[in-house]
Amino acid sequence: MSHLELVTIIVADYDPAIAFFVDILGFELVEDSPSVSTNTGQPKRWVVVRPPNARTGILLARADNATQLAAVFLRVDDFAAQYARMRAAGVTFVGEPREEPYGRVVVFQDLCGNRWDLLST
């Protein structure tokens, strides 16, 4: 594994959350891109903030449902190799890898049932 890429914080609305993290806490707005919910097909946004010079960012997300209320994102350099290694180790994946505007992604569960997104660099 390369590093912990993103931690998700569920927000009620994107713009006030961006204002809080950027204007009040002094974080950088790394990305604010249109996105689509993989569950409902509804429009969403991919919003990432992080402290200056930090490597790990915070994804500000509106949850579609209860299963999205907690999520962790793990970015890897070699997606195919990591995916194959994890499958061989018996990791439970929720669906198949797919291409998104922000990279290749697949959801997996840890031993407690928490959902993680494995992302390509």
User: If phi over 0 gives left and psi between -120 and 50 gives alpha, with beta otherwise, what is residue 69?
Assistant: alpha
- What's the pLDDT score for residue 1? 65
3-state secondary structure of 60: strand
pLDDT in tens, 58-111: 999 887 766 665 566 788 889 999 999 999 999 999 999 999 888 899 998 877
Quote the tokens at residue 54.
């930090």
3-state secondary structure of 47: strand
pLDDT in tens, 10-63: 787 899 999 988 998 899 999 999 988 776 788 889 999 999 999 999 999 887
Domains along the chain? 3-120 (3.10.180.10)
Residues pairing with 28 in the sheet:
50
- What's the pLDDT score for residue 62? 80
- What's the pLDDT score for residue 30? 97
